[in-house]
Structure 1
Amino acid sequence: MTLRPASASDLLIDGKLTAGSGGVFDVVNPATEEVLGQAADATADDMDAAIGAARTAFDTTDWSRDHAFRARCLRQLRDALLAHGDELRELAIAEIGCPAFLTGGPQFEGPVRDLGYFADLAENHTWTVDLGEAEPMGLKNHRELRSEAAGVVGAITPWNFPHQINFAKIGPALAAGCTVVLKPAPDTPWAAALVGKVIAEETDIPPGVINIVTSSDHRLGAQLSEDPRVDLVSFTGSTATGKKIMVAAAETLKKVFLELGGKSAFIVLDDADLATACSMAAFNVVTHAGQGCAIPTRLLVPREKLADAIAATRKSLAGLAAGDPTDSGTICGPLISARQRDRVESYIELARSEGGVIEIGGGRPADKPKGWFVEPTLVSGLDNSSRVAQEEIFGPVLVIIPHDGDEDAIRIANDSPYGLSGAVWATDPDRIEAVVAGVRTGTLGINGGIWYSADVPFGGYKQSGIGREMGVAGFEEYLEVKAVARPA
């Protein structure tokens, strides 16, 4: 079976591959602006059918109770996707604009292999816990706790790391015994639709257990959030949209998991290797053109070393120019769309108007007349109250800010509506521990430490979200707990 779409990539509804009622919409290569092909354009009627299929599959089949079968299906899906790895990597680079090196990690292979981790959880989770006997009100009872699937999950995902985020929702939701309706971002529909093709043709996942609905209409996400047949909404995207989903879900009091924005701080203390730290900060902020919610975009350095830090960061960014994502040496590819490039450029102009200095970058690469590229950019001369230091830009733009010691660095890091991720570079273990304990964020790397892994929960504090994705904590987001008692 070939996965390359000849024209339109179908919806997956109730186990069948079907055309979208709204026709098709174009899939565009962000590095070349060329139309790659089309994706099925679903309507509200298609979404209604998908939700109905998921509801029926949950309510009328043994999917939620057959743990071993679910584990087998997840491993089956993992193996089938890996067998199509070359095709899917090529298509990911073309559709997402992600640098080729990332497809060996979070842009494809890592998340696919992680399906095996969630299969293991389905098999090994303690689904029933015996609490033993007790005598409430003098009556002897035997009690137990049962973990059960939450029900129908509406999964709404973004375009920046579509494979990673799609599987971080599909994997634990299916492992927990839920059924799923996946609504991927319009910018990257193939990353989801082609998985639907594999599910339909190469796995034993029953009809209705997972439904994939691509559409150019963002309102279908709201439809998922509002429908009373959906028990849980799992959303990754902007904080503004996450707030709207909370409001929509409140009408039916459904559970929500929200993984939202970030404006993470990269803290450098005065005992760190400044050049190495600044080089790593530069590398992070240009990876995938800065289109990652957990990428640190505020570089906090000792005030007395500010000039040296600017020089070191500028030098590193100069060697990380935006390039062709098919080139194995490219770190910074294009932005996903002309709309996103306009947004990033507007923030660069805002930095100038606020009195910031563009130390390097600030424009479009002269050698890239096609594609939605922005030069890696370093902004200095602004404090943490500036909008470019407070708002998520989602591009290769780093703001460097001086601090006056460890406590001040922690204060600046926490002076943000977000609390998703961060980093600290230092030598003294006690000072490192003070920063780790003091910064209110969901993940934090020490001296280049990498926290991303299938078994590590990911999520944030404050306006960076609610709940955790990945790990046992992420798996348990898709469970309900039932207490059962009987006379002893």
Structure 2
Amino acid sequence: MTTLPDAKLFIDGQLRDAQSGKTFDIISPWTGEPVGKAADATAADVEEAIASARRAFDKTDWSTNIALRVKLVQKLYDLFDANRERLSDLARNEAGAAIGAVGRAHVDMAMDGWKDYIDLFPQVEWQKSYGERAAYGMMHERVAVKEPVGVVGAITPWNVPLYVNVGKVVAALLAGCTVILKPAPNTPGMGSIFGELAAEAGFPAGVLNVVFGEDAALAGEMLVTDPRVDLISFTGSTGVGKRIMEQGAATMKRVFLELGGKSAKIVLEDSENFAMDVATTMLVFHAGQGCAVHSRLLVPRSRYDEAKAILKGAYANFGDNWGDFDNPTQIMGPVISKRQMERVLSYVELGQQEGATLLAGGKARPDKGGGYFIEPTCFVDVDNAMRIAQEEIFGPVLVVIPFEDDDDAVRIANESSYGLSGGVSSGSLDRALAVAKRIRSGSISVNGGMCIAGDLPFGGYKASGIGREWGVEGIEEYLETKLIAWRK
């Protein structure tokens, strides 16, 4: 187990400790033991970070110097690329990523998305002419210009921290905003490295700041309520997202929210790879800790018993091929914390109380180590009205729900407060597309199509959020539109 470097704050161009000198332990999800220390930011530290970001936006040319922004964002990418081994250590030891997951969502996908932002940036349209128009006996010329919003508070979660940090910080910097990154207390090192490498890249003081503390709410609430912060970009739970909207209303805070999900994968009875489509829905990647994972599997009632048999075999075959810190083939490790483990296990108990059948898993596995290990778990005989089908568990728990026909499948998929992602599998592409278009969700994979990538906009409907991250749209979230008109 790697001992991580101390995670330090980055404020006004300086990598430093908290003003109080206090630190808190970074706990490894694999062992339940400290694996490093992080600076414990005070309110004074956060205040300094906000003032620094405001000053950098208002008094430097960062917001207008596009060439400088592109140069430094590229240089920062190169430094991160050269530090992939450190990024892997952080993902494994802070977030509990298995080695096989590092090369996917945790590090490689994040770096690919960063490169996508740089490649897509020339597509941003900074000025658009609306042409001439006659009014009041005169001709008028109209032009819209895009400008950066201002100071951005980026509040990020612990599940795939590098991926989400890149999604927010890089887009905002390219747009010309200054940024205060506030990572989760579980994963402060994956935020601190942004400050360390930004200093090495030569970023102007105040353009990027990083603050975190043991208190998960202190810095975030200061960012949300401070009028000097123009926009909050938040990824996390729907409950916290609602609180951000409420608290930000007093200062008319602009918010981008990427929230929870309870995404449905629909496997239609004519699927050409029915067994594969069902079996690969096992919720094991990163212990199910992803907002866009397919945590509801919908299968036709006519093939429901077949699907249950397939899943029983798939979970048995997966067996104990998870939870080994040193195994490069594994994609599932522990959940993030004792609190999260207890939460997931409470849902396992609830599912049984609600009358669902536990097909596989359902137990904690202390034999895997001193950390927070839960078996891959699957419930069948689930009704969509059950809480385990409606609430985001954020753990390795799949629920399997039968449907009668296409209309019933769409109804079940849409009977959710969430709408983040989903999937449809069918032997008929036209049929699958027809079903996909009826699902109220921000992204849908049809027959395994890749619907989440750095060059594509990502976000949700309903309680899954507001706005889009990634793609050109992800950069444009950090821009304002100003219309200028003059008499000719």
Q: TM-score w.r.t. structure 1 length?
A: 0.96
Matched, 1:469 2:465: no
Map 1:363-402; keep pairs closer than 5 Å: 363-365=363-365, 367-402=367-402
TM-aligned CA deviation for residue 325 of structure 1: 3.8
TM-aligned CA deviation for residue 144 of structure 1: 1.1
Residues 14-69 of structure 1: per-residue CA shift (max 9 Å, x gap): 00011113411101110122211101110111111100000000000100101111
Residue 111 (structure 2) aligns with: 112
- Choose 184-193 or 138-147, whichever is displaced more: 138-147
Do 1:96 and 1:160's aligned partners in 2 also have CA atoms closer than 8 Å? Answer: yes
Residue 156 (structure 1) aligns with: 155
Counterpart secondary structure, 2:212: coil
TM-aligned CA deviation for residue 313 of structure 1: 1.3
- Matches of 1:317 and 1:21 in 2, distance apart? 50
TM-aligned CA deviation for residue 123 of structure 1: 4.2
- Matches of 1:42 and 1:195 in 2, distance apart? 16
Do 2:433 and 2:446's aligned partners in 1 also have CA atoms closer than 8 Å? Answer: no
TM-aligned CA deviation for residue 5 of structure 1: 4.6
Map 1:237-386; keep pairs closer than 5 Å: 237-272=236-271, 273-282=273-282, 285-320=283-318, 321=320, 322-365=322-365, 367-386=367-386
Q: Could you tell me which amino acid in structure 1 is paired with residue 204 of structure 2?
A: P
Residue 11 (structure 1) aligns with: 9
Matched, 1:125 2:124: yes
Residue 83 (structure 2) aligns with: 84
TM-aligned CA deviation for residue 122 of structure 1: 4.1
Residue 481 (structure 2) aligns with: 481
Counterpart secondary structure, 2:280: helix
Aligned-residue sequence identity (percent) comes to 47
Matched, 1:169 2:164: no
Do 1:68 and 1:122's aligned partners in 2 also have CA atoms closer than 8 Å? Answer: no
- Matches of 1:236 and 1:161 in 2, distance apart? 11
Residue 204 (structure 1) aligns with: 202
Matched, 1:434 2:448: no
- Matches of 1:389 and 1:323 in 2, distance apart? 26
TM-aligned CA deviation for residue 433 of structure 1: 1.6
TM-aligned CA deviation for residue 132 of structure 1: 2.5
- Matches of 1:356 and 1:274 in 2, distance apart? 23
- Choose 138-147 or 175-184, whichever is displaced more: 138-147
- Matches of 2:366 and 2:227 in 1, distance apart? 52
Q: Could you tell me which amino acid in structure 2 is paired with residue 147 of structure 1?
A: K
Q: Could you tell me which amino acid in structure 2 is paired with residue 473 of structure 1?
A: E
Residues 368-398 of structure 1: per-residue CA shift (max 9 Å, x gap): 1421010001111220000000000000000
Counterpart secondary structure, 2:181: strand
Residue 94 (structure 2) aligns with: 95
TM-aligned CA deviation for residue 287 of structure 1: 0.4
- Choose 73-82 or 425-434, whichever is displaced more: 425-434
Counterpart secondary structure, 2:90: helix
In structure 2, the CA distance between the partners of 1:269 and 1:122, relative to structure 1 (3 Å rule), is closer
CA RMSD after TM alignment: 1.5
Residues 119-176 of structure 1: per-residue CA shift (max 9 Å, x gap): 3444442212222222222221222111000000011000001000001000110000
* Structure 1, gaps ≥5 residues long: none
TM-aligned CA deviation for residue 248 of structure 1: 0.6
Q: Could you tell me which amino acid in structure 2 is paired with residue 485 of structure 1?
A: A
Residue 410 (structure 1) aligns with: 410
Residues 245-266 of structure 1: per-residue CA shift (max 9 Å, x gap): 0001100001100000000001
Counterpart secondary structure, 2:243: helix
Do 1:173 and 1:180's aligned partners in 2 also have CA atoms closer than 8 Å? Answer: yes
- Matches of 2:218 and 2:110 in 1, distance apart? 27
TM-aligned CA deviation for residue 92 of structure 1: 1.5
- Matches of 2:204 and 2:116 in 1, distance apart? 21
- Matches of 1:137 and 1:112 in 2, distance apart? 54
Residue 20 (structure 1) aligns with: 18
Residue 143 (structure 2) aligns with: 144
TM-aligned CA deviation for residue 220 of structure 1: 1.6
Do 2:357 and 2:379's aligned partners in 1 also have CA atoms closer than 8 Å? Answer: yes
- Matches of 1:17 and 1:370 in 2, distance apart? 33
Residue 50 (structure 1) aligns with: 49
TM-aligned CA deviation for residue 447 of structure 1: 1.6
Counterpart secondary structure, 1:442: coil
- Matches of 1:380 and 1:106 in 2, distance apart? 28
- Matches of 2:297 and 2:122 in 1, distance apart? 43
TM-aligned CA deviation for residue 481 of structure 1: 0.5
TM-aligned CA deviation for residue 475 of structure 1: 1.0
Q: Could you tell me which amino acid in structure 1 is paired with residue 302 of structure 2?
A: E
In structure 2, the CA distance between the partners of 1:5 and 1:352, relative to structure 1 (3 Å rule), is closer
- Choose 136-145 or 10-19, whichever is displaced more: 136-145
* Structure 2, gaps ≥5 residues long: none
Q: TM-score w.r.t. structure 2 length?
A: 0.96
TM-aligned CA deviation for residue 223 of structure 1: 1.0
Matched, 1:29 2:15: no
Do 1:71 and 1:120's aligned partners in 2 also have CA atoms closer than 8 Å? Answer: no
Residues 170-197 of structure 1: per-residue CA shift (max 9 Å, x gap): 0110000000001100111111112211
Do 2:117 and 2:455's aligned partners in 1 also have CA atoms closer than 8 Å? Answer: no
- Choose 259-268 or 426-435, whichever is displaced more: 426-435
Do 1:67 and 1:123's aligned partners in 2 also have CA atoms closer than 8 Å? Answer: no
- Matches of 2:116 and 2:368 in 1, distance apart? 41
